[in-house]
Chain A
Amino acid sequence: MFSDSTTTRMGESCMSDSASAAKVETPSPASRRADDVGETSERTRREPSSIELKGLHKRFGRDTVALDDVDLTIEAGEFFTLLGPSGCGKTTLLRILAGLEEPDDGRLLIGGEDITDIPPHRRSVNTVFQSYALFPHLSVRDNLAFGLRMRGESAAERRRKVDEVAEFIQLGSLVERRVDQLSGGQRQRIALARALICEPNVLLLDEPLSALDAGLRGQLQVELQRIQKRLGMTFVFVTHDQDEAMVMSDRIAVLDAGIIQQVGTPNEVYEHPRNAFVARFMGHDNLFAIHASQEDWVDTELGRLRLDPAEQRQEQEGWLLVRPETLELNADLSEDYNRLEGQVRERLYRGSRVEYRLEVNGVTVMATASNVGQRLHNVGDKVAVGVHPEDLVRVAS
């Protein structure tokens, strides 16, 4: 499974430069040959499984509701992310999938099979824990082989698979070491490999990158995503970091207070958040209260703005989302655009882009401009602010 010759090895993929990206499609003849040698025993690849959650409830104590009537379907082979702030129930949901927590009510189906009452050690589901939970009394090799050993696979089989997976994650030289001799990034990979080696139907990842520094995290985000695509395994990933969720996921479920607020692809969730919570959690600051609305306009704190009639909702109240990157400053714009007057209050120079904090009709508005070819606006400058009606999104409270 790990010596699939159509894709790159993990170590190559950590270099996210164009050279290694090219290798993804065309492996060098040398590596192909090595792969063929490794593929002496052909095994049938386990089919990825879909996951269905039906009316899941979970309470802790009397008043803490961790999950409130959660219905969710995760497709087979999908990279699915549970996103939300701490205490939103995302980890509880993951633990229910693993079998480490029992739901108070509701059913859980994996691959169409009801496994609600199956204990964790009989589920073909493996977890990468936030703390990695590697066994300190065992060597790296024994850690990797733990699941295979518990499943009763022979010593020879275990040895072969451990060597294979260790090569796959490019840590072959470390297998005889003790866990406490590894760096954080190495532990993370061993924890991942320990779960992958069992070839589960579903792999669960509980904030596996949160303990790593930013650089390593970005690199492993790319790696994880490639591994998932390559193995075709169903991944359920938990994180509180919306950037991480958007980079990696096929679909995202945003949770708050035990309730799924929205499920969608990264761009659906980012560009069309269903409510104010999702919008704020996805990092949107430019939300303006709507006082009144008609067919093709809304009255907001900023003033009256025209918008796409398709965005119109039944309810009068709500929020208008204006994404900072859709605002045009001092540009030569057509008649279609909404035009506002503003003043620059603050400028944050980010290199590739520049962020401005503007004051428009006494309200703070954030605007982002790509740093290409234009003059930077200075603090105190009066600027014309334009936004196209189609870029305005109505968001429920």
Chain B
Amino acid sequence: MAETLQIAFRGKAVVSESRHLLLSVSPGAIWIVVFLVLPSLYLMAVAFMTNGPYGLPQMPLTLDAFEQLAGFGFLGWSPGNLYTLLRSLWQTFLATVLVVIVAYPIAYYITTCREKWRAIMLLLVVVPSWTNQVIRTFGWMNLLAPGTPLSDAAQMLGLIPPNMGLYPSNFAVTLGLVYNFLPFMVLPLYAAFEKLDTAQVQAAQDLYASPVRAFWHAVFPQTLPGLLAGTVLVAIPAFGMYVIPELLGGGKGMMLGNLVANQFAGGSNWPLGAAGAILMLIATFIGLFAMRRIGKRLGGGEEVVI
């Protein structure tokens, strides 16, 4: 006690500096603690509680919620929740891959345009995301509903049964996800392409690389940081997506986000919802960790992702 006092006394400057630090950091820290850390801890606690008769969490602490999440209910085991989880993973994977396939040529094309056009094209990519996600998703509902030209065309090609629409379906969810997250992939990829010196492509060709190999050995590795950053920006929110599967998916298109939301709203099983949210958080962290590892390996030891 005496010792700490002495130190505090000797280093007045240090004290004032640390007080300054405390003052400048504390508002943010308090905000994070009150609105992120405490609710998260509460959520974790809820996940281990028992579901009461009115859907509110009660004591004692159990693992009931996690058992339910794994599919064990009153009527024995059912795979519904597991399907939802797998569907979330599959939809996230599929949407991310498709976004990459669509965004890659777009980003490349924009970099080949003249300077003044580039800004306009980037704007065209970004502007739709300024509209509310719900409204845009309703837009897709109208485009894919039964009786619309797209649905009629799909019927004629025999892709869907007569008198059905392209929505609601898993396909509609994938489409909605790809549409929604495209800008988040185009922008980092564009940044990566813009940094690329076109002379390097020519150098690769000059050094006996065919156009395909020049792309693979000279261009692609240099766009990897952008690709990984885009993947993180797309995959993580896509995994927890609520609006798009809710509106476009129907009963068989549900994702983890909908499962969680239902437990807090309609179904009223807070512990189960909390367990789902924790599962989502864990999956996200695993995904991020994996991306970091991949990024480090491919980037030659350099930090690539975030």
Question: A residues near B, CB below 8 A?
Answer: 98-100, 119-122, 125-127, 129-131, 133-139, 146-147, 150-151, 178, 194-195, 198
Contact = CB atoms under 8 A, between A and B. Distances in A.
A194 B300 CA distance: 21
Contacts of A100: 202, 205-206
B286 to A, nearest CB: 27
Given A137-B221, A150-B213, A198 B200 contact: no
26 contacts: A98-B206, A99-B206, A119-B205, A119-B210, A120-B205, A121-B207, A121-B209, A121-B213, A125-B206, A126-B206, A126-B207, A129-B199, A129-B203, A130-B199, A133-B197, A134-B200, A135-B204, A135-B218, A135-B222, A136-B222, A137-B224, A137-B300, A139-B300, A147-B208, A151-B208, A198-B207
A120 B300 contact: no
B217 interface: yes
A194 B207 CA distance: 9
Contacts of B224: 137
Interface string B172-206: 00000000000000000000000001011011111
A133 B202 contact: yes
B207 A131 contact: no
A135 B200 CA distance: 7
Given A119-B205, A194-B207, 15 more contacts: A98-B206, A119-B210, A120-B202, A120-B205, A121-B205, A121-B210, A121-B213, A126-B207, A130-B199, A133-B197, A136-B222, A137-B221, A139-B300, A150-B207, A150-B208
Contact of B204 (A122, A130, A146): A146
Contacts of A194: 207
Q: Which of B204, B213, B224 has most A Cβ within 10 Å? A: B204
A301 to B, nearest CB: 47
Interface of B: 197, 199-200, 202-211, 213-214, 217-218, 221-222, 224, 300
B217 A146 contact: yes
Contacts of B205: 99-100, 119-121
A136 B196 CA distance: 10
A133 B203 contact: yes
B222 A127 contact: no
What secondary structure prevails in chain B residues at the interface with A?
helix
A199 B206 CA distance: 13
Nearest to A101: B202
B209 A131 contact: no
A125 B213 CA distance: 18
A390 to B, nearest CB: 47
Q: Which of B202, B204, B206, B208 has most A Cβ within 10 Å? A: B206
Contacts of A134: 200, 203
Q: Which of B197, B203, B205 has most A Cβ within 10 Å? A: B203
Q: Which of B205, B211, B221 has most A Cβ within 10 Å? A: B205
Task: List 9 A-B pairs, minimum CB-CB distance, nearest first.
Answer: A147-B207, A133-B203, A133-B199, A150-B208, A120-B205, A137-B221, A150-B209, A127-B206, A133-B200
Nearest to B298: A137
A178 B202 contact: no
Q: Which of B204, B207, B218 has most A Cβ within 10 Å? A: B207
Nearest to B201: A133
Contacts of B202: 98, 100, 120, 127, 129, 133
A170 B200 CA distance: 24
Nearest to B209: A150
Contacts of A146: 204, 207, 209, 217
A122 B200 CA distance: 17
A195 B202 CA distance: 13
Nearest to A136: B222
A143 B4 CA distance: 58
A195 B208 CA distance: 11
A120 B197 contact: no
A139 B299 CA distance: 11
Contacts of A198: 207-208
Contacts of B209: 121, 146, 150
Contacts of A135: 200, 203-204, 218, 222
Contacts of B204: 135, 146, 150
Contacts of A136: 222
Contacts of B208: 121-122, 147, 150-151, 198
Nearest to B223: A137
A146 B205 CA distance: 10
B296 to A, nearest CB: 14
Nearest to A123: B206
A133 B202 CA distance: 8
Contacts of B214: 121
Contacts of A125: 206
Nearest to A126: B206
B37 to A, nearest CB: 39
Nearest to A147: B207
Nearest to B221: A137
B206 A120 contact: yes
Contacts of B222: 135-137
Nearest to A131: B199
A136 to B, nearest CB: 7
A150 B214 CA distance: 9
Contacts of A127: 202-203, 206
B85 to A, nearest CB: 37
A126 B208 CA distance: 9
Nearest to A120: B205
Contacts of A129: 199, 202-203
B301 to A, nearest CB: 9
Nearest to B205: A120
Nearest to A146: B207
A131 B205 CA distance: 16
B130 to A, nearest CB: 35
Given A146-B217, A150-B208, A178 B203 contact: no
Nearest to A127: B206
A134 B222 CA distance: 12
Contacts of A130: 199
Contacts of A133: 197, 199-200, 202-203
A178 B300 contact: yes
Contact of B197 (A119, A131, A139, A178): A131
B210 to A, nearest CB: 5
Nearest to A137: B221
